[in-house]
């Protein structure tokens, strides 16, 4: 390989429960509109298909701190189940989907809702609303051997101790095998890819000083302070 002209960019990693190893992140896929009650609260039709978008790999942050980003006055929390893939392919069948999963984590899809709304209205891309610095706070990964398939279980977010989002993974519209199968019709999904699987109802704004605690049954909780 040729000598690098500048220092190599840092690889983004996620800690793994009970392990000294860390999980290297390649891509961050996100699914929107995947819980009917959240689709309705955003004014959309739950009969329409969920949608896909991406965040940048280096938006993933495991520091437990979320710096309030510039260019927005309406940053929202979206608590999500995150799956991490140990292998992949294209045109994966739903039957084969689970064998590509390494594990699961609790994540937050932080969103500049005001910028997203402007983009939506203008039929423009969502990146400025979704893919910004440290916009994907992430907890510790639990291997699927420990967590099981995560097709049901409580998913809850508190802000300063008050319950704001409270759902169940069994409310997900496109189940995990379908998400993987469908994504793999558009992309060559690969080891290191993570998928943020959508948020239940109750999204809302955060302000500096807020303490967010996200919990999903069987997974390590995620605690994040807004700074
Ligand atoms: Mn989301």
Q: Per-residue pLDDT tens for 128-183?
A: 999 999 999 999 999 999 999 999 999 999 999 999 999 999 999 999 999 999 99
Distance 5 CA to ligand 1 centre (A): 37
Quote the ligand 1 centre to 65 CA distance (angstroms): 19
Coil/strand/helix, residue 97: helix
Tokens describing residue 17: 């429960």
Distance 158 CA to ligand 1 centre (A): 17
CA 148 to each of CA 60, 107, 199: distance values in angstroms, whole numbers, following the listed order: 24, 18, 20
- pTM here is 0.96
């Amino acid at each position: 390989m040729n000598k690098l002209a500048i220092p190599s960019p840092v690889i983004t990693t996620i800690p793994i429960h009970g392990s000294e190893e860390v999980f290297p992140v390649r891509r961050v896929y996100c699914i929107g509109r995947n819980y009917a009650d959240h689709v309705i609260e955003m004014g959309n039709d739950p009969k329409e298909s969920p949608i896909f978008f991406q965040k940048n790999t280096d938006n993933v942050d495991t520091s437990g701190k979320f710096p309030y980003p510039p260019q927005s006055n309406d940053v929202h929390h979206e608590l999500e189940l995150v799956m991490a893939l140990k292998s992949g392919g294209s045109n994966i069948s739903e039957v084969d989907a689970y064998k590509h999963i390494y594990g699961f984590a609790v994540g937050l899809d932080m969103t500049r809702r005001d910028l997203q709304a402007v983009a939506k209205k203008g039929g423009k891309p969502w990146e400025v609303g979704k893919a910004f610095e440290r916009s994907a706070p992430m907890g510790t990964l639990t291997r699927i051997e420990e967590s099981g398939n995560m097709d049901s279980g409580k998913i809850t977010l508190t802000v300063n101790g008050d319950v704001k989002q409270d759902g169940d993974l069994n409310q997900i519209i496109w189940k995990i095998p379908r998400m993987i199968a469908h994504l793999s019709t558009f992309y060559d999904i690969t080891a290191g890819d993570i998928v943020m699987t959508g948020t239940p109802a109750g999204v809302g704004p955060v302000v500096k000083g807020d303490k967010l605690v996200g919990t999903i049954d069987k997974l390590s909780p995620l605690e994040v302070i807004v700074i």
